[in-house]
Amino acid sequence: MLQAIDLTKRYEDGLLALDNLSLEVKEGEIFCLLGANGAGKTTAINLFLNFIDPTAGTALINGIDVTKDPLEAKKYASYVSENVMLYGNFTARQNLDFFAKLGGKRELTKEDYHMHMRKVGLQEEAFEMRLKNFSKGMRQKLGITIAIIKDAPNILLDEPTAGLDPTAAAEFIKILKGLRDNGKSILMCTHDIFRTKTIADRVGIMKEGRLVMIRTREEFLEEDLEKIYLDYMQEAV
Ligand SMILES: Nc1ncnc2c1ncn2[C@@H]1O[C@H](COP(=O)(O)OP(=O)(O)OP(=O)(O)O)[C@@H](O)[C@H]1O
Ligand SMILES: [Mg+2]
């Protein structure tokens, strides 16, 4: 479970990027955060991952305060970003092996890695190919494979489908659904309202650092999510 309690970030230059965010993502739930460029979505994710320190408030991963016990908290979370950090000179399998060992998993074999890559729909010829020759979609698939191998109960994603072709994005979304159905808590920032409609259990809209709206799946399916979004963007904060 992911919890933000009055989470606030003011950057050194004085900009209030995140203003009192309170939010819970439960087990088996996909929560999508929408919002204009600069709304504070990445800031929220980066606070959960302890990449930056909050000005006020708390981020909890499985009840562990990420600033008080960052190493323990990170055991329970995986992160997939638009630009997944992978090693260009390593093959796909070597990247998996590196990150698995970093996470303390030493027992995995070549066949295990291949099985995982097959499951996320990466083509066989890519398994032993160097990352620098990978397309964006292939990198994203490998990024989610790392998350799957880590098997952490919480997954944070920052625009994971940005730049993916429609087939790759649809496959990616299917993988996320599977993870959700396995009980993971998933927090995803995205600009993709279409994908949000297909997978979100709840949606939040952020505007100028504030979470201005939350809708459950039932609620946003009754209305037009795109219209709700545009209406919120037009309204004064
Ligand atoms: N390191 C930083 N120092 C100062 N300001 C920052 C820093 N990082 C982000 N900001 C500012 O904080 C605000 C929120 O940025 P953030 O990256 O969280 O937005 P976002 O919702 O993820 O936007 P996008 O949709 O473009 O990814 C923006 O005004 C941004 O310029
Ligand atoms: Mg962002």
Residue 204 CB–ligand 1 contact under 6 Å: no
pLDDT band at 137; cut points 50, 70, 90: confident
pLDDT band at 92; cut points 50, 70, 90: very high
Residue 11 CB–ligand 1 contact under 6 Å: yes
For a ligand 1 pocket test, name from 42, 158, 212 the mutation site with the most ligand atoms within 8 angstroms of its C-beta. 42
d(CA 126, CA 4) in angstroms, rounded, equals 38
Atom number of ligand 1 nearest to Cα 52: 1
CATH number of 1-76+152-237: 3.40.50.300
Phi-psi category of residue 6: left, alpha or beta, with phi > 0 → left and psi -120 to 50 → alpha: left
Q: What angle do CA 150, 217, 42 make, to 5 degrees?
A: 50
pTM: 0.94
Strands 29-35 and 185-189, bridge-based pairing: parallel
The pLDDT score that the predictor gives to residue 88 is 92
For residues 197 and 166, is the Cβ–Cβ distance under 8 A? Answer: no
Residue 15 CB–ligand 1 contact under 6 Å: yes
d(CA 149, CA 144) in angstroms, rounded, equals 9
Query: Mean pLDDT throughout 65-88?
Result: 91
In the predicted model, what is the mean pLDDT of the chain? 94
- Most trustworthy range by pLDDT among 1-15, 84-98, 164-178: 1-15
Smallest CA separation from ligand 1 atom 31, residue: 38
The pLDDT score that the predictor gives to residue 237 is 62
Atom number of ligand 1 nearest to Cα 9: 12
The pLDDT score that the predictor gives to residue 81 is 83
Answer yes or no: is pLDDT of 78 > 80: yes
Distance from the CA of 219 to the center of ligand 2, in angstroms? 25
- Boundaries of every domain in the chain: 1-76+152-237, 83-151
Answer yes or no: is pLDDT of 236 > 80: no
Q: What is the pLDDT of residues 222-232, one digit of tens each?
A: 999 999 999 99
Residue 46 CB–ligand 1 contact under 6 Å: no
The pLDDT score that the predictor gives to residue 83 is 74
Query: Mean pLDDT throughout 27-55?
Result: 97
Residue length, the chain? 237
Phi-psi category of residue 51: left, alpha or beta, with phi > 0 → left and psi -120 to 50 → alpha: alpha
Answer yes or no: is pLDDT of 163 > 90: no
Answer yes or no: is pLDDT of 10 > 70: yes
